[in-house]
Amino acid sequence: MYRHSQLTRRAFLTGVGASLAAAALPFVSSSVFAADAHPKEFRIGYQKAASTLVLLKSHGTLEKRLNPLGITVKWTEFPAGPQLLEGLNVGAIDFGYVGEAPPVFAQAAGANFVYTAYEIPTPHAEGILVHQDSSIKTLADLKGKKIALNKGSDVHWFLVAALQKSGVKYSDIQPVFLAPADARAAFERGAIDAWAIWDPFLEAAKRQSNARLLADADGIVSHHQFFLSARPFAQQYGDVLAITMEEVGKEGAWVRDHYSEAAAQLAPIQGLDAGVIEAGLRHYAHIYKPVDAEVLAEQQRIADAFSELRIIPTKIVTKDAALAGKA
């Protein structure tokens, strides 16, 4: 379904970059910036678990591209996607990378952002864990159980969809909203019955916490990851985003060719064993594409499900979070 190719600058400009650059005032070419056509600072939000952006930050290649243009790159770490989107909403950052559910929550809260690009599906990068000796053998067995998850994160949608597929109502479980570190502690002391989590935390728990994988997202949800931009920034500085996505694409291609080396570099940053990180890296695609109508339609299905369950307070139209011409 997806062509596994690096998202080059030309491809990005042809897709989302074209609409971004066209919205910029004044318009400049993809290689020449007018003095007033770029920002002094480009603020990127990232999560420590978001390996490609972490490596981009560590390698400093984006700075090498933008610094000669007078643009300083500022990196701000967030514990998870919902917090990162809050930072985008309040104007603390211009750009970030999150899972599929956080943008739905953010749009419902009135955040002024646009979908910029996405990573092709990575369903093996999230899962539901139970204890090795748990009586829970199928997703249907989750009925009535305490399940930990990070509220508003990508596993929130995964859990909802997994329950729906197994015939269990969301109201029939006991969600326990915990950040990954707190959820792991609760899991290890037996305070919860199951834990919905993503890599590399998923792989770490499988290896270190007497955990058994009940199910991953394969056959349940796509598990997309998204690059989002503050709408005013995207409208004015589309070429900066095009350059950024070119460097992200290069970083992703490097990871696919150097899993072990990437894991070794990430180990001291993420505080996990390199073997755990490498296994998690292999669950992600590291291939990025301009956002399109198909992926926005998948986001709409998430939004509709969350609205029906009153997980979000209002109905939204996900294509409203795309620049004109990309819906």
Q: Which pLDDT value is given to residue 325?
A: 53
The residue-averaged pLDDT of 241-267 equals 97
Instruction: Give yes or no for residue 107 having a pLDDT over 50.
Output: yes
Which of 301, 142, 269, 147 lies closest to 200, judged by CA? 269
The residue-averaged pLDDT of 308-320 equals 96
CA-to-CA separations, 168 to 1, 75, 161, 162, 175, in angstroms, rounded: 30, 41, 10, 9, 13
CA-to-CA separations, 291 to 13, 115, 118, 305, in angstroms, rounded: 12, 7, 6, 21
DSSP string, 190-230: TS-SEEEEETTHHHHHHHHSSEEEEEESTTT----EEEEEE
Q: Which pLDDT value is given to residue 4?
A: 39
Q: Which pLDDT value is given to residue 17?
A: 44
Of the chain, the percentage scoring pLDDT greater than 70 comes to 88
Instruction: Give yes or no for residue 119 having a pLDDT over 90.
Output: yes
Instruction: Give yes or no for residue 8 having a pLDDT over 60.
Output: no
What is the CA angle 251-68-225, rounded to 5?
30
The residue-averaged pLDDT of 194-218 equals 94
Which CATH number fits the domain 124-216, given the four candidates 3.10.400.10, 3.30.420.40, 3.90.190.20, 3.40.190.10? 3.40.190.10
Which of 314, 308, 315, 303 lies closest to 115, judged by CA? 303
With 0-12 / 13-18 / 19 or more C-beta atoms within 10 angstroms meaning exposed / middle / buried, residue 241 is buried
Query: What pLDDT band is residue 133 in, cutting at 50, 70 and 90?
Result: very high
Which CATH number fits the domain 9-122+224-321, given the four candidates 3.40.50.300, 2.160.10.10, 3.30.70.580, 3.40.190.10? 3.40.190.10
pTM, to two decimals: 0.85
pLDDT tens for residues 268-313? 999 999 999 999 999 999 999 999 999 999 999 999 999 999 999 9
Helix residue ranges, H only, the chain:
9-14, 16-23, 51-59, 61-66, 81-89, 101-108, 154-166, 180-188, 201-208, 231-236, 238-257, 259-270, 274-281, 293-308
Instruction: Give yes or no for residue 92 having a pLDDT over 50.
Output: yes
Q: Which pLDDT value is given to residue 258?
A: 97
Query: What pLDDT band is residue 12 in, cutting at 50, 70 and 90?
Result: very low
Q: How confident is the prediction for the chain on average, in pLDDT?
A: 88
Radius of gyration of the chain (CA): 20
Q: Which pLDDT value is given to residue 9?
A: 47
Rounded CA gap, 183 and 148, in Å? 6
pLDDT tens for residues 20-77? 443 332 223 333 334 347 899 999 999 988 889 999 999 999 999 999 999 999 999 9
pLDDT tens for residues 209-250? 889 999 999 999 999 999 999 999 999 999 999 999 999 999
Contact partners, residue 189, CB within 8 Å, separation at least 6:
none
How far out from the chain centre does Cα 61 lie? Answer: 21
Rounded CA gap, 80 and 225, in Å? 13
Contact partners, residue 8, CB within 8 Å, separation at least 6:
246, 249
CATH 3.40.190.10 residue ranges for the chain: 9-122+224-321, 124-216
Tell me which residue has tokens 């920002």: 39
pLDDT tens for residues 149-158? 999 889 999 9
Q: Which pLDDT value is given to residue 326?
A: 56
Rounded CA gap, 159 and 136, in Å? 15
